[in-house]
Amino acid sequence: MTTPNDIHALSGAYAVDALDDIERASFERHLAECAECRAEVASLREASALLAETTDTAPPAALRDRVLADITKVRPLPPEIPETHPVRSRRGHGRGARLLAAAAAVVVLGGGAAAVWQQPWQDGTSEAPSATEAVLSAPDARSTSLDFPGGASATVTHSDSLGQAVIVTEKMPPPPEGKVYQLWLDQPGEGMVSAGLMPVKADQKVLLTGDAASATGAGITVEPEGGSTSPTSAPIALFDFGAKA
């Protein structure tokens, strides 16, 4: 039996959307790390979906035309994980965790709370713009883009010759109150190494600190204010740098 405070006990209520927004957000963070709960939620959703068999009702015929007209105006989203991104499991975050993390990002990104300005690059602000431009225009620049639910997107461009990477974001909502977006470089043998905090600004270009040439990828996590020395939550985005030349 589970205790009332046991977060695992929320799996059933989560499966039938019976959590309030705050509970849902915290349970989704838990889900990203708990394979057992993921499997349980999936199985309980199979069960609850069957409940809808008792309510079958044909919709009005006109609805079909409206739906089919609607979809002509909307582009299907690309698959969540670009096929050029091999699954990595260094930190135990497999594909499922990543998908769930992306699901959690819906909540995180939808939060819309005010946040504190973070500027870990204060000493380098004057040269940062030219450094970012240099990476973006480098002959060997390679980019990986991710779209978030809600219309935000992020693109990481890295140049092996310059050993640097830049993240460009669009329409990025502020992180939840008291949290920051932290950038990471995935370094072979070391795992995720902090690459700085992202300033709170919807559209921006930020140079990642650290050696992008040795890194195999980059990630974004939501961390407590001030950042963390290693990720404390599942990434909301992972960018694979692909095979080294």
Q: Tell me which residue of 123, 101, 221, 215 sits closest to 166, measured CA to CA.
A: 215
User: At its nearest, how many Å lie between other proteins and the CB of residue 67?
Assistant: 5
User: At its nearest, how many Å lie between other proteins and the CB of residue 3?
Assistant: 9
Q: How far apart are CA 206 and CA 185, in angstroms?
A: 13
Residues 213 to 242 in contact with other proteins, rule: CB under 8 A:
242
89 makes contact with other proteins (CB under 8 A): no
Q: Token pair of 245, please?
A: 């030349």
Greatest Cα pair distance, the chain, in angstroms, is 65
Q: What is the DSSP track for 108-152?
A: HHH---------TTGGGTTTHHHHHHHHHT-TT-EEEEEEPTTS-
User: At its nearest, how many Å lie between other proteins and the CB of residue 62?
Assistant: 9
Contact yes or no for 135/157 (Cβ under 8 A): yes
User: At its nearest, how many Å lie between other proteins and the CB of residue 86?
Assistant: 12
Q: Would you say 91 or 95 has its CB closer to other proteins?
A: 95
Q: Which of 54, 125, 126, 130 binds other proteins (CB under 8 A)?
A: 54
Q: Tell me how many degrees the CA angle 180-186-188 measures, rounded to the nearest 5.
A: 155
Q: Which of 80, 127, 133, 225 binds other proteins (CB under 8 A)?
A: 80
Q: Which of 74, 122, 126, 229 binds other proteins (CB under 8 A)?
A: 74
Q: Tell me how many degrees the CA angle 69-75-78 measures, rounded to the nearest 5.
A: 145
Contacts to other proteins by CB under 8 A: 1-2, 4, 9-13, 15-20, 39, 42-60, 63-64, 66-68, 70-72, 74-80, 82-85, 96, 99, 141-145, 157, 242
